[in-house]
Structure 1
Amino acid sequence: MARKSLVGEVADDLLDRIVAGEFPPGALVPGELELSAQHEVSRMTVREAMKTLEAQRILSVQRGRGTFVNAVDQWNSLEALLRAASAHVGNELAGIQLIELRRMLETGACALAAPRITEADLARLRGFLADMRDAHDRGDVDEFVGADLAFHDVILEASGNVFLTAVFQPLHRMLAARRKETSRVPDIQEHALGMHAAVLAALESRDAKAASEAMDAHMTQTLDDLVNYVQ
């Protein structure tokens, strides 16, 4: 994954503070000078970050008064809305609801991918599964999570449905954070390896029903692991 730009880092940090409630709707956010000092970046960088959040209707500028936080129902960034919703319902419920959403979307993606998947796609899946095994053996959680996410991305792409890919893109931040949390448990990694292997086998058979069922079983195992090992 490419390193986030300084503008992105400043915008992301300010959004985190807004979502955490430090700056609730209607609150005045710090000015350029204060933010540039906090982040040790130029005022131009801060200005561009603020423009990013303004374009997403998270912030609004009132001339002569400053920059204020808009109500969440005015935001037009799906990623920001997802982060706000996750913070609102709490960590435990957010984890469960994220898996529920993934089950609805990814079982369908797997069914679509089964008859459409190419040999090149399957080779990529085998490669990412091998990367997961290698990372598991070495105890490298970050690489395990990276390969895990990449495995699922291949399936979304192989589904041939551009809307599925577009819907999932804003979820990546939360998915990565959740996977890092759960993948620190060696048993959960073992379960994930088995489930990914079953999904791969179903896709290799090009059986849509089997692929959907394999992904559904993976989501069930993921939810069980979340409840039994993490929460």
Structure 2
Amino acid sequence: MARTSLAESVFEEILDRIIRGTYPPGASLPSEAELAAESDVSRLTVREALKKLQAQNIVQVKRGLGTYVKPTAQWTDLQAIIRSASAATTSPDVSLRLLEIRRMVEIGAAELAALNATEDDLQFMESTNEALRRAHEAGDLDAVTTADLAFHEAVFRASANPFIPVILGPLEQLLYTMRRETSSFLEVQKHAMEHHALVLDAIRTRDPEVARKAMQAHINQTYDDYEHFIHQNDQHQEQT
């Protein structure tokens, strides 16, 4: 039991170094002996930690050559991927990957919502849109972000598919961080209010194709808003 706990600790320590960039993708980890000395544990404990890293496809052991870090895109453990992404929330690549996930999931969720939404679901979507409007008028960025995401969560719930919220649930904090950054622009907030109203109207038609197109237009606008956000950030960095 004690060794298992030590192995977990060494695993966390090595993973943390990988995420921080001490051991970037393609880099070779120190030998088992060196890692054991650094952590003041046995080589057997280090070996157990490395086995877990290998099982999650975070590292690859090449016999006779060493242990190498694999690209994050090849990792298979969701929590490790989220930790890595959380450490790089300002990375354009992370934000674009999140937008890709949103496009795939949310357009389908809107189609299902058009078929399955109850009156309570529609009223809740309406209330989140009203909360977004009030937060926008009050200039409350945190409330804007919360209301924005609450609308999308309401669409998930209205889809009547319990697996949809599970897919994006673990990414909630990443999505919040990204959306808060882009929502710092008043124009982005206005776009969100306009598109949320259009998506809600589309879901009310009970036509999945109409709902799909409305949500697709919203996600496309989100892509445009993000590109604008990146451009503004680049300009700011050049000026400073």
TM-score relative to the length of structure 1: 0.70
**Hey, what does 1:46 align to over in structure 2?**
none
Once residues 170 and 89 of structure 1 are traced to their aligned partners in structure 2, the CA distance between those partners, rounded to angstroms, is 15
Compared CA separation, residues 89 and 154, structure 1 to 2 (3 A): closer
Other structure's SS at 2:184 match = coil
Compared CA separation, residues 213 and 100, structure 1 to 2 (3 A): same
AA of the residue aligned to 1:116? N
**Hey, what does 2:116 align to over in structure 1?**
116
Moved more, 212-221 or 95-104: 95-104
**Hey, what does 1:92 align to over in structure 2?**
92
AA of the residue aligned to 1:120? D
**Hey, what does 1:137 align to over in structure 2?**
137
Larger Rg: 2
Contact 2:89–2:177 (Cα < 8 Å) also in 1:
no
Compared CA separation, residues 209 and 230, structure 1 to 2 (3 A): same
Q: Deviations over 1:77-135 (max 9, x none)?
A: 42432443676898112222321221111101100111100010111111111111111
Once residues 90 and 176 of structure 1 are traced to their aligned partners in structure 2, the CA distance between those partners, rounded to angstroms, is 12
Compared CA separation, residues 16 and 214, structure 1 to 2 (3 A): farther
- How do 1:11-22 and structure 2 match up within 5 A? 18-22=18-22
User: Gaps (5+ residues) in structure 2?
Assistant: 1-11, 59-74, 232-240
Contact 1:103–1:216 (Cα < 8 Å) also in 2:
yes
Of 34, 53, 64, the match for 1:70: 53
Once residues 97 and 116 of structure 1 are traced to their aligned partners in structure 2, the CA distance between those partners, rounded to angstroms, is 28
Number of aligned residues: 192
Identity of aligned residues (%): 38
Runs of 4+ more than 2 Å apart: 14-31, 61-72, 74-77, 82-90
- How do 1:31-70 and structure 2 match up within 5 A? 63=45, 70=53
Contact 1:79–1:171 (Cα < 8 Å) also in 2:
no
**Hey, what does 2:217 align to over in structure 1?**
217
**Hey, what does 1:54 align to over in structure 2?**
none
**Hey, what does 2:125 align to over in structure 1?**
125
Compared CA separation, residues 174 and 17, structure 1 to 2 (3 A): farther
Contact 1:156–1:165 (Cα < 8 Å) also in 2:
yes
Compared CA separation, residues 165 and 99, structure 1 to 2 (3 A): same
Contact 1:26–1:70 (Cα < 8 Å) also in 2:
no
